[in-house]
Structure 1
Amino acid sequence: MKIKLVVFALFLTISNLFAQEKSGSVTGKIIDSKTKEGIGFSTVKIKNATQIIASAMTKEDGSFSFSNLELKPYVLEINFVGYKKYVENIELSATKKTASIGTITLESESKEIEGVTIVKERSTIEQKADRKVVNVGKDLIASGATASEIFNNIPTVSIDPQTKELSLRGNSNVRVFVDGKPTNIDATQLLQQIPSASIKQVELITNPSAKYNPDGNSGIINIILYKNSRTGFNGSLTSGVTFGVTPKTNQSLNLNYKVGKVNFYSNYGFNHGKNRNYGYVNSERPSLENYQSFGFTNVNTSHLLKLGADYYINDNNTLSFFTNLNFFDGKGDSNTIVDYFNNTSNTDVYQKNWNNSGNFTYTYDLNFKHNFKKKGETIEFQANHSVTDNSDLSHFLDNSVSSTNDISGKTSYSQFNIDYVNPLSETSKLELGYESRIQGGKNNFIDFSNTYSDLNTFDFNRNIHAIYANFSESFGKFNAQVGARAEQYDLFAHPVKISSNSANNQNADIKDAIFTIYPSAYLTYKMDDNNTFNLNYTRRVDRPSNGQINPIREWRTPQMESRGNPALEPQFTNSFEVNYTKNTKIGSITSAVFYRMINAEISRVIYSDATNPNYNILSFDNFKNNHSVGAEISANLRLTKWWFTNASADVYFKTVRGTVTNLTTNLPENGEVNVTTFNTRLNNTFSATKNLKFNLFGMYRGRDLSLQYARTPMYRIDFGANYTILKGKGTLSARLNDMFNMMHFGFDGNIPYKQVGEFHWESRTFYLGFNYNFGGGKNKELQRKQRDKNETQSGGMF
């Protein structure tokens, strides 16, 4: 019994001594330097050299406290998005067990006027571990009215000037998201609906990890729209007019109101204008030599509305909801003339076309996030549902023969996912998630003519269920991450073709059921603060889109029509990438080299119509394996106090495959060509005065090859200016795009026969815009700003 008492007394003595050694505490409060209000939800760390001893989030009033600390020297470090980092040395000892820091004042990194964040003068590019982030400034906004127009000014991204097709690193198999969420709207149309002034950032995720949806050979482009969470009412208004052959207008309004624990926000964009394009094709097709001329006029009107709310239930729970509404209406007419050189055997064709198309998309998104007591441990639930209605009515007059095409469709998309994050230790983290995506739709096509009518329907259902796991570990100067995503993919499609010619009637179901594992691996080596290397690998897939498998005719001309191929199979890609980032005194330089191995590549095919050898069908097919290699480099440099430049260059090597008709046998034959493409961009910002900035932009898109023709190089030089007025609340922007009118699409081909051509559009335009920031909201940054920074980090949301 005495031994037990001695042991117990010894235990109490040791416990008391240990408690005395760890009885130190640190308290303080963080406020904004201008508003003097507390900054809630900022990160406060207690460090011993580079090791983090303790970490916590400030309360809503900005206060913080730490207890049970050893009595020794420490470093106090405070970080919050939009503010300069704060560092202070503190010391706890037997004579000073409590360190009362008092009130700490943080200075904002962004220029602010009465609580309203002003859009930066110049765009900047930030290289992160798994993505490149472009912060959109006034120089990019003034370069175009819509996202489609400014994307050509962003490194590694290209917009085809004729078709408006988007490509990343020379590949069009790219997925586009808005605020980290999918959309039913076709990317080509979506980018023309989003006003440039509504875009805050563009994230280029070229090699996404296993937690992301693996669709898209070349990766993901995420467009982040402006949002706010400041107390009170505030917002911004942007109005612009683009003068070309005819004027075009774009308007954008952002509103925000935060009261108590609720934050309401909205974004509205409006675009309207007439566009005129023209071109020609000179064809030397044997026995069918001809000259084709084209003229197009389109009047497009679009509305984009986003409404949302965040409810901060408490420090650990946030509920968010938003809805997107997209309206698009397009009216156009075109004239196509086919002038045959040998009129004795061929009749010239004059085709007149009137078109009226439109779509309406509505999206609803609900999100709930819970923070556990353990720092960094979170679970997030998200549900998303969207529906798109499409319609397209076209009237054709071919010489004296008239016909009408009536196309309609409806597509629905639903997504549900759960994402869990657990920091296992200071150096390791585990991420787990589940996702379901349900997509379905129906398309109808009716072709009316004087002699017959065709009815086509295409029903489809595409279901994908997935789970993923990612594990990351830091050791010394290295950080590694490995992951895998398992997906079950099921497709059922039912095409029906009912024609007045019963021999052409078709009714064959399409079924696919595929289970696949998509691994990913990342290794980052931070040599020092100025040099970082990253090596990564992912496996991705390009599943045939609805348009690629839909046998319903998409469009037609007097000599060609486009339709899908129901027999298409998925295309798989193994992607390798090496990145290097160098920080210097005047800026940063990032470079990358990538290599892709592509299995069962999907490519375009052209073949003759079985019922009319002089009429061609443009469709898709799977080809043998392929590969592509590329390199790119970009730099953000402040050359002087008054001169800042963004420069980038990229080169791609790939093999293009397709099918064309042999003019001798009139049978389709496979062909291929090796392609090298070079592009470069240079964006300069010059500060004349505090309020006046000039911008000079130049780009070169090198010669490109397809299987049929070589695209000629394209050049462009823009010049613009921004002037700040109304005590910093307003900005006037003016810009002359394509000053020397050099931008047009030209080609020269020899396969399967000699043909040359050019297409022109309203490339030389003058843009005049005005931006005004208003509101008396106080600068009280809450959780939403932190979410803006990380809104695409939750993988299941993709």
Structure 2
Amino acid sequence: MKLIKFFSAIMLLTTTLMWSQETKPGVISGKIIDKATNEPVGFSTVSILDGTKPVAGVSTKEDGSFEIKNLELKSLTVKVNFIGYNDASRTVTLTEENKEINLGNITLEASTNTIETVSIVKERSTIEQKADRKVVTIGRDLIASGTTASEIFNNIPTVSIDPQTKELSLRGNSNVRVLIDGKPTNIDAAQLLQQIPSASIKQVELITNPSSKYNPEGNSGIINIILNKNSQTGFNGSINSGYTFGITPKTNQSLNLNYKVGKVNFYTNYGFNHGRNRSEGFVESDRQNLQNRQDFDFTNTNTSHLAKVGVDYYINDNNTLSFFTNWNLADGKGISNTFINYVDNTSNIDELQKNTNNSGNSTQTYDLNYKHNFKKKGEYIEFQANYAKTTNEDLSLFDNNNVLRLNDLDSKTNYTQFNIDYTNPIDENTKIEIGYESRIQDGQNNFYNESLPFFGSNPFSFNRNIHAVYTNYSKSFGKFSAQVGVRVEQYNLDARFERNEKNPDYYEATNVEDDIFTAYPSAYLSYKLDDSNTFNVNYTRRVDRPSIGQINPIREWTTPLLESRGNPALEPQFTNSFEINHTKIFKIGSVTSAVFYRLINAEISRVIFPNPLNSIQNIMSFDNFDNNSQLGAEVNANLKLTKWWSTNASADLYYKTVRGTVTNADTNLPENKEIDVTTFNTRLNNTFTVTKKLRFNLFGMYRSRDLGLQFLRTPMYRADFGANYSVLKGKGTVSARLNDMFRTQFFGFNGNIPYRQDGEFRFESRTFYIGFNYNFGSGKNKELQRKQRDKQETQGGGMF
């Protein structure tokens, strides 16, 4: 012990002597402030120059103060710079008599072209390939393609929106999970995308194979929509106003505000959407010699409000507290007519069904987040609590050949989520992540119908709880980076459909109970061949649990010949997903390519079968098919071909085998079917720069036919042309766009199972959009770190 103490004393003495020899006596301190507001300018850069040679430098603290030690006693130059300000400099001389100099307040004057250098919305959308996702930054060219997220998503690579149902698909698969700012939402994705104004979207992240850190739901992966929120100092914001003219006019307005002062950042977004939409279509069918043609005419008037208010409190360099709330309010009014013409009128009378519909939706979301950074760089722990409450009501009055009936469907859902995430970089090349997550969801649906056999109230209630833990281990070695992880979840579901007491023979009580314990592994390997070529290989296991709407036996809508309802017997669908990516960087841009394979167990899909209680009506529902597989490839290019021409181009090809059992309406017997399907999609978005102020945009897309067990979807294509013009010294932009110039986009289908039918639906695809965007404020571009879960980005550990 004495020997240890002796060597410890020697080491301490040696270190002290070495430090005393290396330490220099000079100290310079001061504080940086804004000349106009006298507010401190934190995180600005202070450099010490010996002539033109930099010898030391620091970033100022939150309060603008700085102190630089260990300087030689000589004449030095202090230089201060920060984005949005003119540089400032001071000359000082350190001597034996004046070793420590306090410069007091150093003022920075705002640059005269501050607004010109800060762009809240980029002119042209960009695509960036990261290790586990594509990041699409929304520019004015995409904003001008439509007023809502639903309209611009068809212009994003690998994403498509069904023009009739508004259903969202990623890589040709509709089993995709949608997040807003990295947080879940109780609103149906098709409805949500029609409520979000296009100008409120900053980025869209396409996460096709998420790691074990993320919720494994969604066969195709995750689409994370990041809304605008900037962190510039002072007060600033933007206004966006757009109008769309088709058969009927529509409008979209949004306001983004931000105020950053000291340690607090306030931000808010508000979006307003209003418009009337017209569509029409027909379906011709022949079942058991019952030939008929249904003609549809729809008029819907929708109004929605989306508001977000939030605050970030930067307690100190290591602690951040954040809170935000989202409010979605939507109101819809619809009028539809369905005329059924029976070819053989001897046994059936032609029918005219008129439907007047009023619907309302309200969602409130509250999110609290706390993050603590430890002393070790990259080590942190983060806590998040999220609560959402959703209410829906749908009131429909049907007039079927002067026979009236009223349907009243209302639902309430509560959702609570709690997360704890811990990240520890063990060393420069190694990182470990662990976390816990709970998701608790409960709801009550009630369907009231004034007609038999549904007469009376039919309540449906559910409780769904998911508890999970995960861990990820990442390591970099040479040109390789790897990550392995596993997520373990306990899933509980208890859903009950109560029997209609006024008609007990129609429906017995239906109970659905699930108690499933499952592991979801993930693995990633990245190889950086050189600065221009990176390869990624990854594997994940994912799940698609039946949604509440898919298992809810309460009918969603009905016509005399077709009714839509859920299937309480649905089981979860599991997917093993493999993917290979390559990113190639050129002088003119980048090209990313991918090949993927999915093996799907008990795939959930749409199905149509005869209604046992109505010989002329069919039921559209969901069912589990057999195990299926999908193989696909895609290529995305983001290139600046010349000084005046840039392009975003993408193409994808999918091959899938679909197996399942469907009911033939003519025989009422099940049929086992298997089909092989190849589909192809491509998009081309060109931007032509005429002058610094004027740009033109030309967009085209093609979606090939797609074949299912029951239907063939016909090909679809369109072309758009637009222009952007910069005004008000770069603060404003005027945009104009003609969508579907040749009116070629429509939805068509045909099939023979469960009976012969073909149809076509047309909507307001050819429209003219005009919009105006204006950026205002005197804010300076002071980027502060946003909590990682909000950005939904993996951190540290090489490529991962």
- Whether the TM-score (by the shorter chain) exceeds 0.5 is yes
The aligned counterpart of 2:451 is 449
Are the aligned partners of 2:287 and 2:666 in contact in 1 as well (CA < 8 Å)?
Answer: no
Displacement of 1:80 in angstroms is: 11
Displacement of 1:663 in angstroms is: 3.9
Q: What are structure 2's unaligned runs of at least 5 residues?
A: 48-55, 72-79, 86-99, 796-800
CA distance in 2, matches of 1:56, 1:469: 36
1:637-657 C-alpha deviation (Å, 9 max, x unpaired): 000001110000001112334
The aligned counterpart of 1:478 is 480
CA distance in 2, matches of 1:232, 1:43: 19
Q: 1:609 to 1:373 in 2, by over 3 A?
A: same
Are the aligned partners of 1:357 and 1:392 in contact in 2 as well (CA < 8 Å)?
Answer: yes
Displacement of 1:41 in angstroms is: 5.1
Aligned ranges 1:200-215 → 2 under 5 Å = 200-215=202-217
Corresponding residue to 2:411 among 403, 409, 412 = 409
CA distance in 1, matches of 2:279, 2:285: 20
Q: 1:253 to 1:768 in 2, by over 3 A?
A: same
Are the aligned partners of 1:280 and 1:758 in contact in 2 as well (CA < 8 Å)?
Answer: yes
1:443-489 C-alpha deviation (Å, 9 max, x unpaired): 00011127871421111000011111111111111111111111111
Q: 1:13 to 1:415 in 2, by over 3 A?
A: closer
The aligned counterpart of 2:240 is 238
Q: 1:19 to 1:451 in 2, by over 3 A?
A: closer
1:508-539 C-alpha deviation (Å, 9 max, x unpaired): 32211111111111111111110000011111
The aligned counterpart of 2:282 is 280
Q: 1:456 to 1:440 in 2, by over 3 A?
A: same
CA distance in 2, matches of 1:758, 1:194: 28
Q: Does 1:678 align with 2:677?
A: no
The aligned counterpart of 1:665 is 667
Deviates more, 1:403-412 or 1:597-606: 597-606
| Amino acid in the other structure paired with 1:397 | D
The aligned counterpart of 1:311 is 313
The aligned counterpart of 2:689 is 687
Q: 1:162 to 1:774 in 2, by over 3 A?
A: same
Corresponding residue to 1:649 among 645, 648, 651 = 651
The aligned counterpart of 1:94 is none
Percent same amino acid at aligned positions? 69
Q: Does 1:184 align with 2:186?
A: yes
1:167-200 C-alpha deviation (Å, 9 max, x unpaired): 0001101111111111111100100000001111
CA distance in 2, matches of 1:664, 1:507: 30
Q: Does 1:598 align with 2:576?
A: no
Aligned ranges 1:539-554 → 2 under 5 Å = 539-554=541-556
Q: Does 1:216 align with 2:218?
A: yes
Q: TM-score, normalised by structure 2?
A: 0.89
Displacement of 1:126 in angstroms is: 0.2
Corresponding residue to 2:535 among 516, 533, 547 = 533
Q: 1:121 to 1:665 in 2, by over 3 A?
A: same
Q: Does 1:60 align with 2:55?
A: no
Deviates more, 1:241-250 or 1:563-572: 563-572
Displacement of 1:494 in angstroms is: 1.2
| Amino acid in the other structure paired with 2:778 | G
Aligned-partner SS, 1:289: strand
Displacement of 1:758 in angstroms is: 1.0
| Amino acid in the other structure paired with 1:793 | E
Q: 1:379 to 1:649 in 2, by over 3 A?
A: same
Corresponding residue to 1:468 among 464, 467, 470 = 470
Q: 1:192 to 1:82 in 2, by over 3 A?
A: farther
Aligned ranges 1:572-587 → 2 under 5 Å = 572-587=574-589
Displacement of 1:555 in angstroms is: 0.8
Aligned-partner SS, 1:284: strand
Displacement of 1:372 in angstroms is: 1.2
Q: 1:706 to 1:488 in 2, by over 3 A?
A: same
Q: 1:752 to 1:773 in 2, by over 3 A?
A: same
CA distance in 1, matches of 2:398, 2:644: 57
CA distance in 1, matches of 2:66, 2:429: 24
Displacement of 1:317 in angstroms is: 1.1
The aligned counterpart of 1:142 is 144
1:322-350 C-alpha deviation (Å, 9 max, x unpaired): 11111010100111111111111222221
Aligned-partner SS, 1:728: coil
Q: 1:181 to 1:8 in 2, by over 3 A?
A: closer
Deviates more, 1:608-617 or 1:374-383: 608-617
Q: 1:134 to 1:21 in 2, by over 3 A?
A: farther
1:258-310 C-alpha deviation (Å, 9 max, x unpaired): 22221111100000000000011122334111111110000000000111111
Q: 1:3 to 1:384 in 2, by over 3 A?
A: closer
Q: Does 1:792 align with 2:792?
A: yes
Q: 1:640 to 1:153 in 2, by over 3 A?
A: same
CA distance in 1, matches of 2:453, 2:636: 59
Aligned-partner SS, 2:793: coil
CA distance in 2, matches of 1:269, 1:626: 41
Are the aligned partners of 1:649 and 1:681 in contact in 2 as well (CA < 8 Å)?
Answer: yes
CA distance in 2, matches of 1:79, 1:511: 63
Aligned-partner SS, 1:345: coil
Aligned-partner SS, 1:322: strand
The aligned counterpart of 2:752 is 750
Displacement of 1:105 in angstroms is: 14
Are the aligned partners of 2:62 and 2:262 in contact in 1 as well (CA < 8 Å)?
Answer: no
1:61-98 C-alpha deviation (Å, 9 max, x unpaired): 677789899xxxxxxxx999999xxxxxxxxxxxxxx9
Q: 1:68 to 1:458 in 2, by over 3 A?
A: farther
CA distance in 1, matches of 2:294, 2:515: 45
CA distance in 2, matches of 1:451, 1:150: 43
The aligned counterpart of 1:343 is 345
| Amino acid in the other structure paired with 1:508 | T
CA distance in 1, matches of 2:454, 2:426: 69
Are the aligned partners of 1:322 and 1:365 in contact in 2 as well (CA < 8 Å)?
Answer: yes
Displacement of 1:257 in angstroms is: 1.5
| Amino acid in the other structure paired with 1:575 | S
The aligned counterpart of 1:90 is none
Displacement of 1:250 in angstroms is: 0.5
1:594-640 C-alpha deviation (Å, 9 max, x unpaired): 11111121122221111223211111122221111111000000000
Q: 1:254 to 1:615 in 2, by over 3 A?
A: same
Are the aligned partners of 1:453 and 1:499 in contact in 2 as well (CA < 8 Å)?
Answer: no
Q: 1:474 to 1:659 in 2, by over 3 A?
A: same
CA distance in 1, matches of 2:153, 2:709: 26
The aligned counterpart of 1:228 is 230
Q: 1:64 to 1:496 in 2, by over 3 A?
A: same
Q: 1:551 to 1:469 in 2, by over 3 A?
A: same
Q: 1:423 to 1:240 in 2, by over 3 A?
A: same
Are the aligned partners of 1:604 and 1:659 in contact in 2 as well (CA < 8 Å)?
Answer: no
| Amino acid in the other structure paired with 2:792 | T
Q: 1:10 to 1:326 in 2, by over 3 A?
A: closer
Aligned-partner SS, 2:290: coil
Q: 1:703 to 1:9 in 2, by over 3 A?
A: closer
Displacement of 1:118 in angstroms is: 3.6
CA distance in 1, matches of 2:612, 2:10: 98
Displacement of 1:128 in angstroms is: 0.4
CA distance in 2, matches of 1:5, 1:668: 86
CA distance in 2, matches of 1:790, 1:502: 49
CA distance in 2, matches of 1:3, 1:678: 77
Are the aligned partners of 1:588 and 1:637 in contact in 2 as well (CA < 8 Å)?
Answer: yes
CA distance in 1, matches of 2:107, 2:705: 55
The aligned counterpart of 2:491 is 489
Displacement of 1:667 in angstroms is: 2.6
1:6-41 C-alpha deviation (Å, 9 max, x unpaired): 978965674456547875899999999999998745
Q: What are structure 1's unaligned runs of at least 5 residues?
A: 46-53, 70-77, 84-97
Deviates more, 1:212-221 or 1:666-675: 666-675
Corresponding residue to 2:300 among 288, 298, 301 = 298
| Amino acid in the other structure paired with 2:128 | E
The aligned counterpart of 2:440 is 438
